[in-house]
């Protein structure tokens, strides 16, 4: 049995999960972690188990963390558990946090991998220039093949030292005590508070009431009221509502009005829509 769980807002992790799945000789069961599939954590999994996920401010989607804590993994010698962090240039040590979740279950992560794709965090940074984005996509097939080869060979792999640089720590507003970080020091971190951030989301006058934002939200956190979106208080900060809105009218306070939008160019809207 081979299962890949993925979480996605703007399609990067879906692309990586799909490309991985296509290169293995066996059938791979792809499961998107979202509000509709949380119950699937209670089934039993064994064999090759992959987790493909974005990093959010050195953390991971809260829904994914809860899902993985619940995930039932059979303790068999055939397991090879691997994680693939699809990041935007500063993966930090989120994979260490993820490893600690599996270690506590008694089924350790065997391979931890990183993949660089464009940054989707419009609430933090502007999108990268398209030429730069193209570079990350050009490197993807070779990187995916490296991961597949390592998983097939059951090679133990770690991410190496990916601690954020002092510059990145400062830019993110993180404050870390001196010394090597223990497993869970970075997560949760004080700047990753999606529900606080969500309080300042709104649709500006460009909204056409199409409901795309409702349909793409993995947390089912948006409803249309009088033709306009309202956010319901359990945001994951995935940016799907910002990045797939055809009118580019979802805003965060006064931070996003002049920033370019990004969603993965190889994934279609209907492949992200959940409802």
Tell whether residue 121 is a contact of ligand SF4 (CB under 6 A).
Answer: no
Q: Which does 264 bind (CB under 5 to 8 A by kind): ligand FMN, ligand SF4, none?
A: ligand FMN
209: left (phi over 0), alpha (psi -120 to 50) or beta: left
Token pair belonging to 132: 């730069």
Which x/- pattern over 227-246 shows residues binding ligand FMN (rule: CB under 6 A)? ----------xxx-------
Q: Which stretch binds ligand SF4 (CB under 6 A): 27-35, 95-103, 162-170, 204-212?
A: 204-212
Token pair belonging to 210: 């199409």
* Pairing assessment for the beta strands 2-6 and 29-32 based on DSSP bridges: parallel
CB of 239 to ligand SF4, least distance (A): 5
Question: Considering only residues 3, 10, 83, 110, which one is a binding residue for ligand FMN as defined by CB under 6 A?
Answer: 10
264 neighbors 238 (Cβ within 8 angstroms): no
Helix axes 62-70, 94-105, angle to 10 degrees: 20
CB of 161 to ligand SF4, least distance (A): 31
248 neighbors 206 (Cβ within 8 angstroms): yes
Contacts with ligand SF4: how many residues (CB under 6 A)? 28
79: left (phi over 0), alpha (psi -120 to 50) or beta: beta
Q: Which stretch binds ligand FMN (CB under 6 A): 62-70, 73-81, 84-92, 139-147?
A: 84-92
Token pair belonging to 32: 């998107």
Tell whether residue 274 is a contact of ligand SF4 (CB under 6 A).
Answer: no
Applying CB under 6 A, the residues found at the interface with ligand FMN are 8-13, 54-58, 86-92, 117-121, 123-124, 237-239, 264
């Amino acid at each position: 049995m081979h299962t890949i769980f993925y979480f996605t807002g703007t399609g990067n992790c879906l692309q990586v999960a799909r490309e991985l799945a296509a290169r293995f000789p066996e059938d791979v069961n792809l499961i998107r972690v979202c509000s509709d599939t949380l119950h699937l954590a209670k089934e039993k999994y064994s064999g090759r188990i992959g987790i493909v996920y974005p990093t959010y401010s050195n953390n991971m989607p809260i829904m994914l963390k809860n899902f993985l804590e619940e995930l039932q993994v059979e303790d068999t010698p055939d397991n090879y558990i691997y994680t693939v962090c699809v990041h935007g240039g500063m993966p930090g040590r989120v994979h260490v946090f993820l490893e600690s979740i599996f270690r506590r279950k008694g089924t350790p992560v065997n391979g931890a991998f990183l993949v660089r794709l464009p940054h989707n965090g419009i609430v933090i940074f502007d999108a990268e220039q398209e030429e730069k984005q193209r570079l990350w996509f050009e490197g993807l097939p070779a990187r995916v093949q490296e991961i597949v080869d390592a998983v097939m060979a059951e090679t133990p792999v770690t991410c190496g030292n990916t601690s954020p640089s002092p510059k990145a720590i400062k830019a993110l507003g993180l404050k870390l005590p001196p010394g090597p970080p223990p497993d869970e020091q970075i997560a949760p971190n004080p700047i990753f508070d999606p529900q606080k951030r969500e309080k300042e989301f709104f649709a500006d006058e460009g909204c056409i009431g199409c409901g795309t934002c409702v349909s793409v939200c993995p947390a089912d956190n948006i409803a249309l009221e009088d033709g306009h979106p309202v956010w319901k208080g359990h945001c994951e900060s995935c940016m799907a509502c910002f990045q797939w809105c055809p009118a580019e009218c979802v805003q965060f306070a006064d931070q996003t009005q002049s920033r370019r939008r990004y969603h993965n160019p190889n994934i279609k809207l209907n492949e992200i829509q959940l409802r």
